[in-house]
Structure 1
Amino acid sequence: MSTLALPALITRRGRRPLPGFGLSLGLGLAWLSVVVLLPLAALALRAAGLGAEGWLRAIQDPRVQASLKLSFTASFVAALIASVAGALVAWVVVRYRFPGRRLLDALVDLPFALPTAVAGIALTAIYSANGWVGRYTEPLGIKIAYTPIGITIALIFIGLPFAVRTVQPVLEVLGREQEEAAASLGASRLTTLRRVVLPELLPALLTGFSLAFARALGEYGSVIFIAGNLPYKTEIAPLLITIRLEEYDYGGAVAIAALLLAASFVCLLAINAIPLLFAHERKGAGRDV
């Protein structure tokens, strides 16, 4: 084989590094369409069939508004707390070496593997009036189970792994060199954290927050046991969808589901836009320098 033909061969092979690209792409798109796109498209078409008037009538129901307000508020607070706690856990796992570190790292993924119903029952048993924690808090006037506080705790539980796993790789790549350089220049620990570490972690923190918020917004199994499911008080939107279906109010169920789907889609767009936004800002800052 001549040396002139070698680059052409490499180019041809570089276009398709693996055989069966067409078949793999077709099977992947077919699976994605059947499992994800078709159900979402059916929901969107059904929601569009309600019309603006029917959709607004279903959403403006006081019970629906109360459940949506609870779901969005609890999800936002839980995602915010999970982001901060997740960053702290990731920092400890990456930066320190101590006995049980690998066990702690493995326990972070426990909410992913644990059935949501089991998590809900366990949290209820802990925070109820006769639970390990509830027996001490309720005499102080702090009721956790069957209140929005309990709902928020359950949502923090299922959102924490997202926050940890988005921040942890960034910390591993970041290393200690920049912090040591800042310290050698006389920067305090607080200044180093604020000017060196946080700017690098901010995209990951925002991504973890968006993932935790989207996950909490549609959470059902781990919440219904600890929520108490009282209408207008502790009834979450996913539960109300189920109730509307049991009442054969398919239009009401579709309207709530479409709203949650739109909110999750916005979170998905934000997750994909965050890296591009920060990359553009860094590129602009580099030009200014």
Structure 2
Amino acid sequence: MKTEVNKPLSFRRYPSTTALQCFETAARHLSFTNAAQEMHMTQSAISKQVAQLEEMLNLSLFYRTPHRISLTPAGKTYYLEVLEILKHIEAATTSLMSNSDNSEVLKIVSHPTFCSRWLMPALKGFSQAQPLINLDIKELAGPFFSEDQNVDVAFLYGDGIWGGMESIKLFDEYSVAVCHPDYLKDKAPCTSNIDNCTLLQLSSRPSAWYEYFRQQDISIDGTFVGPRFDTFHTTISAALLGYGIALVPLRLVAPELRSGALVTAWRYAVKGRGAYYISYPLSLGRSHKIKVLLEWVSAYLDTSNDHEQGLDFYQQS
């Protein structure tokens, strides 16, 4: 007897998009009436779609009482899954509709603080100059490249060596100690005595302050003590609010230093162990959109240098 192993998709049972939308809306509102108003359908139509979905799944998604509905445990689990599916459909549809037939999308990822404080100024005017390249920029704090991520370019900090990637160095990192101007009032901070200072810490760089003093041949206790934050952005915000002294890359706080919103506590810039790179998969090395972006970033770097950022003011190792 012939057995059909793989059935075509048309023979499999899938809920309709309408049924999923009705369920998601009802689950979000916990009301068939409110769901009907949002979906521009009748209450009975919403209820029927959900009932048919439950019948297909052979599961109850809602507890029903005369005055209210609530999600069952299975309904709660299914709601979260359906929500992600609908978001993905919406994003895919919007992306397709927003791009013309002869345009392409350039998917970029960057650390949030670097993205807002360096990358955004660097890419100003790019979309106008390259209307056929649509930027899709994501901010990520974790690993930027993995098998399940679709990324064209990443702006990374490190040693420039990432598997399967071509990396081009942008610039070294020099960090300075900054604080609110009022924070130094009634204090006489010096690098040999920080007892009256609060050192703001970055979680991903627990040894940053130790390295700052070590490069100056200063041995000091308490470099690991102080409020700890996840990102440079939050650390900078804390310094602006007078929490203490933050050790952050000079390029990321150049605007605040120029305006006087922040001042340097000590006249020294510590060189980081890594540098900033623009990286892309080796398979995209001949891509037109990568070539255009590299040329744009290179031109931007030519118009902004370390002396304009005030690096020459600081003592360096």
Give the structure, 1 or 2, with the largest relative contact order (CA under 8 Å, sep 6 or more): 1
TM-score (norm 1): 0.22
Which protein has the bigger helix share? 1
Which of 1 and 2 has greater Rg? 2
Q: Which has the higher strand share?
A: 2
